[in-house]
Structure 1
């Protein structure tokens, strides 16, 4: 195989072929006219045939020169596409999510990075449940709440479904925990400062307890689930977010009732922006993970 011509000489040829003038090519390349002439002459010597016909006023491509111009144009076009596409793949995606979804999201993102190390993701946790893309520079966000009206392209992850959970040891101990009424004898753990989650579930179970307001409150769902796994009490949580703990046996559902609140988790992107292929791939992958629980 014949040795390939040097890339700088091909680039000089490509610029020169577009203007067919050594002087203008030198101006575009920011080198001297003599340097352009020498590179073209060296390239012609390497190939064994002329690429230009030297005229009194400028240059004219030979038949071989015209063929080379098409091939070199294609080559630099492919190089340009590679630079753009590979650069996009390696660009870190900026993702925002509320802290309540971290228990589900973090393990998935760790798995994503193992499978796709070429598409890194930086995750920012927030106590806020929404996102303002006009003020916050994120490529996408997980939001929690009602279906978003201003995000027609929002992807649904899963609905919130509340259910009590506790340590397996609590089911074997005393006092008993066989019916919802037995919750009266246990410490209730709240993942927020209010009692709303427990109240929603107890209402669906047609049950009134007088120990709800005496329970222990936490800043995050993660803290409440951690305490529940140690047998401290019975926590209320979103079944969708604690599925990994249930599958691993760290937590169990003492009752089958799961209550949908009408709220859900969604993936959203800035309106009017173009979603890059890596971001679209990540979003569809997360949706698939959410739907295969």
Structure 2
């Protein structure tokens, strides 16, 4: 949502007659049921008749507010983060573990941190100075560019997961579906 919502104004400028309704689902969405045209999610579980377009990979990095950054300068040794207040999404409970393991910090030597209901809440907590969030790089690009978040450690860890646009193969010929799909894929290439 954080990545998509900001970009929807560009779509509506290009295609004012196409209405887009955006909702959030707590569980995986089955597009083959016909209730939605697309979903964006991380697992791409192959199903017949379903098309999967990779949007971008999940890359993890620790971020914090400028106030937190100034209070505790950037860390060069990843073990220094163990004593800090760590934030993450309850939907992504292992992101800190993945990041620390890539940083060669033993998995049992840190606490998972305080979870929030979703990534946007965890990032907002970091923006508000409530600790360090493990973030998906693409989802916080705008906050990094605006200076609302700063990178507290330079290690970026690319996971095996990616975000995917998932839709029905039978909808490929519908002009509004093709327009949205093509537009969204072009947005991942421009990265604005």
Sort the TM-score into its range (normalised by shorter chain): 0.7 to 0.9
Larger radius of gyration: 1
Residues 1:111 and 2:10 aligned together:
yes
Given the superposition, is the C-alpha separation of residues 191 and 246 from structure 1 closer, same or farther in structure 2, using an over 3 Å criterion? same
- When you count helix as a share of all residues, which structure comes out higher? 1
CA–CA distance in structure 1, aligned partners of residues 25 and 160 of structure 2: 22
Cα distance, 1:183–1:275 mapped onto 2, change above 3 Å: same
State the match for 2:150 in structure 1.
252
Aligned to 1:197: 95
Does structure 1 residue 155 correspond to structure 2 residue 53?
yes
What is the aligned partner in structure 2 of residue 135 from structure 1? Answer: 33
**CA deviation after TM superposition for structure 1 residue 135, in Å:** 2.8
Is 2:22 the partner of 1:123?
yes
Superposed CA RMSD in Å reads: 2.1
**Structure with higher RCO (Cα < 8 A, 6+ apart):** 2
Which structure 1 residue ranges, 5 or more long, are not aligned? 1-101
Q: Is the 8 A contact 1:198 1:212 kept in 2?
A: no
- The alignment's TM-score, normalised by the length of structure 1, stands at 0.59
Gaps of 5+ in 2: none
**2-side partners of 1:157 and 1:252: how far apart?**
24
Q: Which residue, 199, 218, 230 being the options, matches 2:116?
A: 218
Separation (CA, whole Å) in 2 of partners of 1:246 and 1:264: 20
Q: How many equivalent pairs are there? A: 189
Give the deviation of 1:146 after TM superposition.
4.1
Normalised by the size of structure 2, how large is the TM-score?
0.87
Assess if the C-alpha contact under 8 Å between 2:89 and 2:117 holds in 1: yes
